[in-house]
Amino acid sequence: MKNLTQEQWKDALEKDENAFILDVRTEEEFIEGFIPEAKNLDIYKGQDFLNEVEKLDKNKNYYVYCRSGARSSQACALMNQQGIENAYNLMGGITEWEGEIAHQ
C-alpha cells in the first residue's frame, strides 16, 4: 500500500492506463457524489467486501478512496493481503478532493 497526497494520486491516476478507481464508502455516501469512473465496494460489508476483492484483477493498479482516508487505508492493507500489490490510498479522501465529482 502506498499513501498518496491528493496531487500525487491525481497525477498518477491520469498517467495510468491500467488504473481502477475504488470507492470504499457506503452506497449512500457514494450516491451523494463520487470520483468519475469509480466502482463502489463498501468496506463495512466485511466478508462480502473481501469476497469482492478476491474477484478483482490483481494486475490492475487500484486507486482507493473513502471520505477521509481511514477506511481506504484499511482497504488497501486488506487488498495487499489478498495479493493485490498496487493499491494507492488517497490521503484526505474525497473530503479534500478538488477534482471532478460525479453523481448518479
**Pick the catalytic residue: 66, 75, 76, 79?**
66
Distances 102 to 48, 58, 73, 79, 94 between C-alpha atoms, Å = 25, 26, 22, 25, 12
SS3 state of residue 98: coil
Least Cα distance to 19 among 63, 69, 54, 79 occurs for 63
Q: Which residue has the cell 471520505?
A: 67
Active site residue 66: yes
Q: How far apart are CA 14 and CA 1, in angstroms?
A: 19
| Residues labelled as active-site residues | 66
